[in-house]
Structure 1
Amino acid sequence: MEPHEAETFVNKRTLYAPIEPYSSGNLKVSDVHTLYWEQSGKPDGHPVVFLHGGPGGGTAPSNRRFFDPEFYRIVLFDQRGAGKSTPHACLEENTTWDLVNDIEKLREHLKIPEWLVFGGSWGSTLALAYSQSHPDKVTGLVLRGIFLLRKKEIDWFYEGGAAAIYPDAWEEFRDLIPENERGSSLVDAYHKRLNSDDLEIQYAAARAWTKWEMMTAYLRPNLENVQKAEDDKFSLAFARIENHYFVNKGFFPSDSHLLDNVDKIRHIKTTIVQGRYDVCCPMMSAWDLHKAWPEAELKIVYDAGHSANEPGISAELVVANEKMKALMG
């Protein structure tokens, strides 16, 4: 199917009204980690699991609003070290494959035979890794802001590519690192500080790391989003866990692992929603995935950047979930 430039200026679908969970709990997934989970919507509806970004970003009540609560059984959970999961910002036993296993443990705990998988940014990475590992448990995929965690994507965002568009925000991010350490990898330089024995050094690095990403996430500036960086609890988990995954190349066996395994999920009904001007996860990744997987529908939102909360992107995500309803009955 040819990619479609979404005409988001007409027929915009709005998010569903806010809802509260009908159940929630904590699932111990290892000797170290316990995950927070919740369910909302229709208890006997078609299950959908929401995979948040970062890694380390955690979920928010607004995440429930992408789904029709009269049709979907909506499952949200905070990944290891993120949000309400404990221990907070913990890097021990925290890899992509631990998270893939956690999704299965949660599915089994909730007695769900199979589910729709919804993920954006890092959530798209995890959704691909999970579905390629357990294709028989996935009824469909809705992906946004594709991130394949390849070296060129990390280099684009942290080694100067995105700086061409946001030079002001970039200088603030770069300047936390002394000049004599900037010659190699800024990701490595931040790793050293985010794992310092001095908590204040960790916090300062976490605020700078988080602010850089929040400054670039929207096509138009969003002050509320940028202010998240000042929340030390949020920014510490977000920055430490994200950096940990990036230093370790996503714990994938090869740079092209997710593209190399598309055949395992080629049969799964999939919609990809991508902002044309996404600086965090530039469209090259969605395009590469589309070329490897032309069966997946690619919706390009011409007036959006990265965030799922931008009007054009949220509208297309709601439309994608509505289309999935027709397939699932």
Structure 2
Amino acid sequence: MKTFYPPIEPYDSGRLAVGDGHEIYWEVCGNPDGKPAVLLHGGPGGGLIPVFRQFFDPDAYRVVLFDQRGCGRSTPHGGDPGGSMAANTTWHLVADIERLREHLGIERWLVHGGSWGSTLALAYAQAHPDRVTEMVLRGIYLARSSDEEWAFTPSGAAQLFPDEWAAFRDAVSPDEHGDLLAAYGRRLSDPDPAVHLPAARAWAAWELSAGTLLPAPPPEFDDRTLLGFARIEQHYFVNGCFLEEDQLIRDVHRIRHIPAVIVNGRYDMKTPPGGAYELHRAWPEAEFHIVPDAGHSGAEPGTLHLLIDATDRFRP
């Protein structure tokens, strides 16, 4: 069973101005002469975690990672007071990926993304198919209205996590239960920490409640990180992730020639496997795996084995 490569530190890093007052933090690790690859983190609103560097053989790959707009070490941060989301959309991020590729002098690269990272990877590849050598996708999120309903209505994941759902729902007043996204948007944008911080904690608790097949302690984040995560997610989800309905399936013909591996946990309660299967039906050339004993996390053994196997097979 394949597992993570050993921990590694970046050999280069920096900040790149991408317009609209935003600067993104980027880093590169592995072999400077290796095959280029970019890893797109989840969320939206997440950020880099050092273990992301370990999906690739460091002797074979030149691995690029970056914090998306508003995340991690990129500025302005989504959790800072007065921050605007006006210039933070899927298409801004797609443009940022291209700008970073050009900045680093990379002609083409492997694109790796999990969860929201899979959404962004598909959007990027469909916009710039000539820049992508292969794709490794995990926990497929297609950003459709049905996906929003699964996450934010009582008939979806709430049926499997009733206690966690109740805490999320009841963090706003009963008369707002009909539109939780809007209710949280009002609270998360409120300048008063006594209003926005409890909302951010409740949002993150719900979002992080179903990350693994078996219960696991949620990761700990400071208030600023939680607030940025919640604000960015709410902004994207209330806007349909700035994609047309079924756009990522509709436009898959643009990338069917790209070698790809699609992996989804059978019991993934964040991005259920139906979406991954629909993507595979539209893209039969892509290698497709349902992991029988996994949830959403890319670190669960069966899922991790397939992800590492994919990058190993795609290496030079």
- Normalised by the length of structure 1, the TM-score is 0.92
**Displacement of 1:197 after TM fit?**
2.3
Aligned identity (percent) is: 54
Choose which of 179, 190, 197 in structure 2 pairs with 1:185: 179
Q: Which residue of 1 aligns with 2:39?
A: 50
The yes-or-no answer on 1:94 pairing with 2:88 is yes
Choose which of 212, 217, 237 in structure 1 pairs with 2:211: 217
Superposed CA offset, 1:112-164 (max 9, x none): 00000000000000000000000000000000000000000011011121011
Choose which of 143, 157, 161 in structure 2 pairs with 1:162: 157
Where does structure 1 lack aligned partners over 5 or more consecutive residues?
A: 1-11
**Displacement of 1:227 after TM fit?**
4.0
**Displacement of 1:231 after TM fit?**
2.2
**Displacement of 1:92 after TM fit?**
3.0
Choose which of 163, 166, 174 in structure 2 pairs with 1:171: 166
Q: Which residue of 2 aligns with 1:258?
A: 248
**Which structure 2 residues correspond to residues 74-113 of structure 1 after superposition, within 5 A?**
74-89=63-78, 90=83, 91-113=85-107
The yes-or-no answer on 1:289 pairing with 2:276 is no
**One-letter amino acid of the counterpart of residue 108, structure 2:** E
Q: Which residue of 1 aligns with 2:15?
A: 26
**Which structure 2 residues correspond to residues 115-264 of structure 1 after superposition, within 5 A?**
115-160=109-154, 161-182=156-177, 184-223=178-217, 226-228=218-220, 231-252=222-243, 254-264=244-254
Report if the CA contact (8 A) 2:109-2:132 is conserved.
yes
Q: Which residue of 2 aligns with 1:5?
A: none
Q: What CA distance in whole angstroms lies between the structure 1 residues aligned with 2:161 and 2:145?
A: 20
Q: Which residue of 2 aligns with 1:268?
A: 258
> Per the alignment, in what secondary structure is the counterpart of residue 235 of structure 1?
helix
**One-letter amino acid of the counterpart of residue 74, structure 1:** V
Following TM superposition, the consecutive aligned residue runs of length 4 or more in structure 1 with deviations greater than 6 angstroms are none
Q: What CA distance in whole angstroms lies between the structure 1 residues aligned with 2:313 and 2:262?
A: 13
| CA-atom RMSD in angstroms | 1.0
**One-letter amino acid of the counterpart of residue 292, structure 1:** A
**One-letter amino acid of the counterpart of residue 180, structure 1:** D
Q: What CA distance in whole angstroms lies between the structure 1 residues aligned with 2:9 and 2:284?
A: 37
Where does structure 2 lack aligned partners over 5 or more consecutive residues?
A: none
Superposed CA offset, 1:182-208 (max 9, x none): 1x2211111111111213311111111
Q: Which residue of 2 aligns with 1:302?
A: 292
**Displacement of 1:324 after TM fit?**
1.1
Report if the CA contact (8 A) 2:33-2:62 is conserved.
yes
Superposed CA offset, 1:218-239 (max 9, x none): 111111xx243x5212211111
Aligned residues: 310
**One-letter amino acid of the counterpart of residue 203, structure 1:** L
**One-letter amino acid of the counterpart of residue 97, structure 2:** I
Change (3 A) 1:318 1:166: same
> Per the alignment, in what secondary structure is the counterpart of residue 6 of structure 2?
coil
Superposed CA offset, 1:237-286 (max 9, x none): 1111011000111111x211110000000000000010000001111110
> Per the alignment, in what secondary structure is the counterpart of residue 24 of structure 2?
strand
Q: What CA distance in whole angstroms lies between the structure 2 residues aligned with 1:315 and 1:211?
A: 28
- Normalised by the length of structure 2, the TM-score is 0.96
**One-letter amino acid of the counterpart of residue 85, structure 1:** S
